Amino acid sequence: MVDSQEDTSTPSASEEKPPVTRPKRRRNQPLKVANQIPKQRRMEIEKALEEPSSTPRKWSRTSSWKSHRIGKKLIKPGTIRNLEFDLMDVDIGESWPIPVTVIHGIRPGPVVTIIGALHGNELVGPLALTYLQSSNIMGEGQAIDPLTVAGTIRIIPIVNMPAYRRRMRYMTDGRDLNRFFPGKEDSNTTSRVANRLWNELFSKSDHIIDLHTAALGRTNMPQIRANLANRNSNRVARSFGIEVILDSQGPKGSLRRTADENGISCITYEGGGSDEADPESIQIALYGILNVLRSLKVIPGYPSRPRFRLLASGSVWLRSDQGGLLDVLTPAGSFVEEGELVATVSDPEFPGLSMEIRTPTQGLIICTATHPFVTTGTPIGHLIPIKKGVKTVQKRLDQEGILVLSGSDGEPPWRDDEEVEDISVEGEWEGGSPDAEWGENHSSAAEEEADEG
Ligand SMILES: [Zn+2]
C-alpha cells in the first residue's frame, strides 16, 4: 500500500507551512504492488480451470428445444417477447414492474442474462441494452433474429427501477441492491427484491453480464471484473474483447460473487460514471456484449479481440493528503510515468498554495475522481502498475497519452485469439502478500464503494 501510516507532514489549517508534495517520500518506500496476477492466485486459477467439473457445457445443436419460462410466461423457440417482471410479489400496493426482453433462439444453447442499472443512476447499461435491441445492431436494417439464435438472450435494461425513477443508486429503503444477493423472502425490502430476482431470473442463467459505471464522483475507464478461477467467467471475460480485466470476486452480496458461488458465470463491466451517458463506454459495452454472444455461438459472426489484455489483480489507490478542491490532469485511461503529476489540490482559503499528487509508479489510470471536493485520504485515482508489455501498451496510446480502447475507434477488427498478447499472467508478483491490494484494503466499506461502482 502506498499510503503512509506515519504521515506527519499534513499541515493543519492554522499552520502557515506550505503543503509538501509526496513523491520523494514515496520513492523511499518499497512498493508492494504489481499488476501481475500473484503466483499463488495464478496456480489457483490454473487448478480450477483443469477440474473436469468446470468444463463448459456442450450444447447439442440438433436436439429438441423447449419454450423458455419466466414465472408463468412461456416464450416459444424462435420468438422475441417483451414482458414485465414484478420486483415485488404483492396483491396491493406498488409491484415495481421492470421490462424484460427474451430472445428465445430456434436451437439449443446457453441462457445469457444481460442487465443494467442494478444501481439506479448508472445509465451506460440501460442505454447499451436499448441499442442492443435496435433494428440496425447486426447491420443495416438487421436486429438480432431469434431464427439465427442458439440459446436464449434475456435483456433487462433497468433492474433497479425504483432507484432509476428516483435517479439514485440505492433502493427506496436506502440499501444497495448489489450487496443483498441471494436475498431472503422474509427480510427487508431490498433483500426481498434481491431474492425474487435471484430465484426467478438470475439463478436460471448460464451466464450473466452485469453492466455498471463508477459510483457518483468518479469515472471508470471501461474494464471487466471477474473471478478468473471460474472457468466460464474467465472465458466470457476474455471474450468481451477489452484490454483491462481485473481478477476480483466482488464484494459480499454482490451479484457477481453470488452467481460465482452458485456455479454461474458472471462478469461485471464498468465504464464511465453515474448520472452520465458516456458514449465511448456505451459503444464498448455494446461491442463487448456482441463479442460474448458470438464467442458463445449464441449469435452468428466472429468476435473481435483487442491487441492485448492486462490481467490484473493488484492496483494502487492514489489519494489526496490534503483537503480542498481537486483538479485532475490525467483522465481515466491515461498512461502515466513514475512521478508524473496527475492532479493538484488547492484551497480557496489558502490562495497561492497548490498541492501536487504524483504517481508512485508507471502504469495505467483506470479510474479518476470527478468530484472536486476532497479531504485528506480521498481516493482520487486508481492505477494499475505496468512493468511488462509497456511497449505494447504504448503503441495504443493517442497523442494525449490515453489508451485507445478496442471498439472506441469504430468496429474492432477480427483477430485470432493467439494474436492477443496477455501481458501479466506470465509475470511475477513482486513482494507483499498476494492479496494485499485486493484483500483487506478492499473490504472496508469506503474502499468497496470506490472499487465497485
Ligand atoms: Zn454499479
For residues 378-389, average pLDDT: 90
CB environment 71-98: b (16+ within 10 A), e (fewer):
eeeebebbebbeeebebeeeeeeeebeb
| Average pLDDT of span 144-148 | 96
Rounded distance from Cα 68 to ligand 1 centre (Å): 29
Residue 160 in domain = yes
Q: Which residue, chain included where needed, has cell 445509465?
A: 123
| Ligand 1 centroid distance, CA of 273 (Å) | 9
Measure 122 CA to ligand 1 centroid, in angstroms.
Answer: 6
- Residue 349 Cα to ligand 1 midpoint, Å, equals 35
230 found inside a domain: yes
Residue 300, all three cell numbers? 452468428
Cβ contacts of residue 159 below 8 Å, gap of 6+? 98, 115, 116, 117, 118, 177, 197
Give residue 381's pLDDT band: very low, low, confident or very high (50, 70, 90).
very high
In a domain, 26, yes or no: no
User: What CATH number does the domain containing 269 carry?
Assistant: 3.40.630.10
> Which is nearest to 111 in space by CA: 207, 240, 237, 233?
207
Q: Using 50, 70 and 90 to split pLDDT, how confident is the model at 139?
A: confident
Q: What is the pLDDT of residues 186-199, one digit of tens each?
A: 999 999 999 999 99
CA distance 57 to 297: 13
Within 8 A by CB and 6+ apart from 365, the residues are: 221, 330, 331, 332, 333, 334, 335, 336, 342, 381, 382, 383
Q: How far is the CA of 452 from the centre of ligand 1 (A)?
A: 6
- Specify if 226 maps to a domain: yes
End-to-end CA distance of the chain: 21
Total number of domains constituting the chain: 1
pLDDT > 90: what percent of the chain? 69
Asked if the structure places residue 58 within a domain, the reply is yes
Range of the domain at 216: 50-311
- pLDDT, mean over the chain: 84
Which triple of cell numbers denotes residue 55?
468444463
What's the whole-number mean pLDDT along residues 341-345? 95
Q: Give 344 or 422, the one with higher predicted confidence.
A: 344
- Give residue 215 CA to ligand 1 midpoint distance, Å: 6
Does a structural domain hold residue 216? yes
- Please indicate whether residue 410 or residue 227 has the higher confidence score (pLDDT): 227
**Which pLDDT band holds residue 421 (cuts at 50, 70, 90)?**
confident
Q: What is the pLDDT of residues 8-62, one digit of tens each?
A: 444 444 444 444 333 333 333 333 334 457 678 878 888 877 776 555 667 766 6
Residue 429: the pLDDT is 30
Full-model pTM: 0.85
Q: So what's the pLDDT on residue 58?
A: 72
Q: pLDDT band at residue 131, thresholds of 50, 70 and 90?
A: very high
Do the domain assignments include residue 10? no
- In the chain, % helix, strand, coil (3-state, to 5) comes to 25, 25, 50
Kindly tell me if the per-residue pLDDT of 385 is higher than 50: yes
* Residue 314 confidence (pLDDT) above 90: no
Q: How far is the CA of 230 from the centre of ligand 1 (A)?
A: 22
Pairing of strands 79-86, 97-104: antiparallel
Best CA proximity match to 127, nearest among 285, 18, 323: 285
- Amino acid 36: pLDDT: 55
Query: For residue 159, how far is its CA from the centre of ligand 1 (angstroms)?
Result: 11
Confidence label for 6 from pLDDT (cuts 50, 70 and 90): very low
Burial (Cβ within 10 Å: 0-12, 13-18, ≥19) of residue 398: exposed
Look at residue 56 in the predicted model and tell me its pLDDT: 61
Query: Would the pLDDT of 432 be above 50?
Result: no
Dump pLDDT digits (tens) for 67-99.
Answer: 999 989 999 999 999 999 999 999 999 999 999
How far is ligand 1, taken at its centre, from the CA of residue 338, in Å? 30
Say if 119 falls within a structural domain: yes
Ligand 1 centre and the CA of 251: distance in Å? 12
**Angle between the N-to-C axes of helices 231-239 and 39-50, in degrees from 0 to 180, rounded to the nearest 10:** 100
Q: Where does the pLDDT of residue 160 fall: very low under 50, low under 70, confident under 90, or very high at 90 and above?
A: very high
